[in-house]
Amino acid sequence: MFSKDIGIDLGTANILVHVRGKGIVIHEPSVVAIDVNTQKICAIGQEARDMIGRTPGNIRAIKPLNEGVIADFQITEEILKHFIRKVSGRGFRPRVMVCVPSGITTVEKRAVLEAATLAGAKEVYLVTEPIAAAVGCGLDIAAPSGNMVVDIGGGTTDIAVISLGGEVTSESLRVGGSHMEEAIVRHVKRVYNLAIGDRTAEDIKTTIASAYPDPEKKMSIRGRDLVTGLPATVEISSVDIYPALEEPIHSIVDAIRGVLEVTPPELAADIMNNGMSLTGGGALLEGMARLVEERTGVPVTLAEDPLSCVVRGTGQMLDTMDSSSHRSPLVVSYSKGR
């Protein structure tokens, strides 16, 4: 029975699914392709992402999750139903643990609980992303010692100081990887008069973008020239693209400093000893860990496989719930839906 327990990282950019006993079985983009005439879903996940910017007029590729929360309830329910059935089969109602941003409202929590329940879950648990990320990093969050986790996701950046299984101080900033991509699109349009798509912006971010720009890192990008209306190619460097990233990067660093400033002194001392863990896809931006360390003075560790830390944490927490110590402080962070 318990082999079908499922942990889901319901991200703005990607959805990851962990099945107990099997590990991570799904890692796909949070994208859905819909036929606007019939309102039917044509594709979900990677197949839908491949359609972005290439669809005919009647098919629209959309992201139903915005800044880590549900923007389109019905479509999110269909996504959850699709993935839950894919891993557990029809007719089986698994227990599901879903990760949510730490700053989520009561209404947003209820939307996630209801969507997962309607998608076929027998029981639904919610856990905040920093708690799950900390567990996925291998930190002992139940100990009376301060640990700091920064999870830079697609739509949000969640920062938390954790001790005794709970968040002592936290901040959920609605800035993440997707905001960096949007800033790149605007910057290229303004500076080069070139219209590019979201996928090209993502390629730029992962290939040459850096918190410490290097003029030697260059790439050619293709798009539509806004003056002539014709296809065009432009070569850009890491230095050229840095002004687009400056604002979102520094917003994240300032938020981390803000959390450290309100952290109790004893926990602040623990964090100086233990360091800070960086997780999430945004943590993979070149130079991000170095910048955070320089601006805060706190040692920074980039988690192993930052993209999957959160969902790996859900798997470990589901295991904890069935152990003899299921009343451990970890369980305090869960909310259950019927």
Q: Is residue 44 part of a domain?
A: no
Judge whether residue 100 has pLDDT over 80.
Answer: yes
pLDDT digits (tens, 9 = 90+) for 21-62: 889 999 999 889 998 888 888 899 889 888 877 778 788 888
Q: Is residue 47 part of a domain?
A: no
Mean pLDDT (the chain) is 88
pLDDT band, residue 323 (cuts 50/70/90): low
Residues 15 and 75 in one domain: yes
Judge whether residue 334 has pLDDT over 80.
Answer: no
Residues 152 and 283 in one domain: yes
pLDDT digits (tens, 9 = 90+) for 102-136: 878 888 888 889 988 988 888 899 999 999 999 99
Residues 97 and 115 in one domain: yes
Residues 76 and 10 in one domain: yes
- pLDDT at residue 282, rounded to an integer: 93
- pLDDT at residue 167, rounded to an integer: 92
Judge whether residue 321 has pLDDT over 90.
Answer: no
Q: Is residue 200 part of a domain?
A: yes
Residues 187 and 84 in one domain: no
| Pairwise CA distance, residues 319 & 302, whole Å | 25
- Answer with the one of 195, 220, 244 that is the final residue of a domain: 244
Q: Is residue 38 part of a domain?
A: no
Nearest to 221 by CA among 241, 243, 245: 241
Q: Is residue 43 part of a domain?
A: no
pLDDT digits (tens, 9 = 90+) for 205-243: 999 999 999 999 999 999 999 999 999 999 999 999 999
Judge whether residue 253 has pLDDT over 80.
Answer: yes
Residues 159 and 274 in one domain: yes
Residues 22 and 72 in one domain: yes
Residues 165 and 181 in one domain: no
Residues 214 and 285 in one domain: no
- pLDDT at residue 55, rounded to an integer: 76
pLDDT band, residue 161 (cuts 50/70/90): very high
Q: Read off φ and ψ for residue 322, nearest 5 degrees.
A: -100, 0
Q: Using alpha carbons, list the distances in angstroms from residue 282 to 172, 190, 206, 313.
A: 14, 24, 10, 18
Q: Is residue 157 part of a domain?
A: yes
- pLDDT at residue 181, rounded to an integer: 95
Report the SS3 class of residue 292. helix
Q: Is the pTM of this model over 0.85?
A: yes
Nearest to 255 by CA among 142, 140, 99, 102: 102
| Strand order through the sheet with 23-29 | 23-29, 14-19, 6-10, 95-100, 123-128, 335-337
CATH of the domain at 79: 3.30.420.40
- pLDDT at residue 276, rounded to an integer: 96
- pLDDT at residue 59, rounded to an integer: 87
- pLDDT at residue 157, rounded to an integer: 95
pLDDT digits (tens, 9 = 90+) for 169-184: 999 999 999 999 999 9
Judge whether residue 284 has pLDDT over 50.
Answer: yes
H helices, E strands: number in the chain? 10, 19
Domain count, the chain: 3
Instruction: Taking residues 183-206, report their average pLDDT.
Output: 95
- The alpha carbon of residue 11 and the mean position of all alpha carbons in its chain are separated, in whole angstroms, by 5
Q: Which domain holds residue 95?
A: 2-28+67-132+309-337
Instruction: Taking residues 288-299, report their average pLDDT.
Output: 96
Q: Is residue 45 part of a domain?
A: no
Residues 72 and 16 in one domain: yes
| Pairwise CA distance, residues 37 & 334, whole Å | 40
Residues 291 and 259 in one domain: yes
- Angle 288-296/238-261 helices, nearest 10 degrees? 40
Judge whether residue 333 has pLDDT over 70.
Answer: no
Residues 96 and 198 in one domain: no
Q: Read off φ and ψ for residue 266, nearest 5 degrees.
A: -65, -40
| Pairwise CA distance, residues 300 & 296, whole Å | 9
Q: Is residue 52 part of a domain?
A: no
